[in-house]
Chains A and B, each alone.
Chain A
């Protein structure tokens, strides 16, 4: 799966979790930019990403993710190491 495919799949997950069908992902996007991105919705977001991509994040990976761009890089690494 390449970066574009990952971004497309992630966009669907974000739109579903945040109930916002107009949400567009950019590498710079953070929780400050999305309405309703609190601890509970973040927990659900990560859970959905893990299920959809069939991956499991390590806690130290999660706590390095400062924006969506960093999230995409970590997903790519996880998928490449499968």
Chain B
């Protein structure tokens, strides 16, 4: 059995965190939302995501402080990004929107403006003062070793130490990602909402036209 080292992410881990974001955005497809929505190549997307991490803003999926990492003999194996929603009074989607506006070129923002009505339909709000599991990634060679579950447990421990009153944990998954949905169900999460876009064009821009909200209650 392999022995993994679990730790908090630092700025030095940003290249791996960028991989994490890219793979999570693709959700097992070839559709990279930074390309379809903002017109960026994957190379450009990596550069801008790196810059957003380097701003060191807390409270969203583009925050280094949100991540814990599993590594094996110095090699990155898995990472999970999680935070307390609205901990400083500002929702994670606002923090992310601020970063996107601040870092992305104007032409990218203007391209995205044409798509908001299509993309809005699958949006699911986050619940204030709950734990959000925002991003999960396990490198191919380390799959099936329960790394995601172990990292999620460590994130829950970390975040409930910050706020012991938290009882709910939420995760949003694209509807096409059946393995992830099953894995969360095995970790005591239940599906509580499915948002489906009525405009099928959304499939050109997102990995799926369905978003699934799953919840786990820590007190039950």
A: which residues have CB within 8 A of B? 17, 19, 30-32, 36-47, 50, 57, 59, 62-63, 65-66
Q: 30 interchain pairs (CB within 8 A)?
A: A17-B116, A30-B91, A31-B94, A32-B91, A32-B128, A37-B93, A38-B97, A38-B120, A38-B123, A39-B93, A39-B96, A40-B97, A40-B112, A40-B116, A41-B97, A42-B94, A42-B96, A43-B101, A44-B116, A47-B101, A47-B106, A47-B113, A50-B101, A57-B102, A59-B57, A62-B98, A62-B102, A63-B90, A65-B90, A66-B90
Complex-state Cα separation, A65 to B119, whole angstroms:
25
The residue in chain B whose Cβ has the minimal distance to the Cβ of A19 is B117
User: Which A residues are in CB contact (< 8 Å) with B166?
Assistant: none
The 10 closest A-B pairs by CB, nearest first: A42-B97, A62-B98, A39-B96, A39-B97, A39-B93, A43-B100, A43-B97, A43-B101, A46-B101, A38-B123
Are B93 and A38 in contact, CB atoms less than 8 angstroms apart?
yes
User: Which B residues are in CB contact (< 8 Å) with A62?
Assistant: 98, 101-102
Dominant SS at the B interface?
Answer: helix
User: Which B residues are in CB contact (< 8 Å) with A38?
Assistant: 93, 97, 120, 123
Q: Nearest-CB distance from B112 to chain A (Å)?
A: 6
Dominant SS at the A interface?
Answer: helix
User: Which B residues are in CB contact (< 8 Å) with A39?
Assistant: 93-94, 96-97, 100
Q: Sort chain B's interface into a size bin.
A: 20 to 34
Complex-state Cα separation, A30 to B126, whole angstroms:
14
User: Which B residues are in CB contact (< 8 Å) with A30?
Assistant: 91
User: Which B residues are in CB contact (< 8 Å) with A44?
Assistant: 109, 112-113, 116
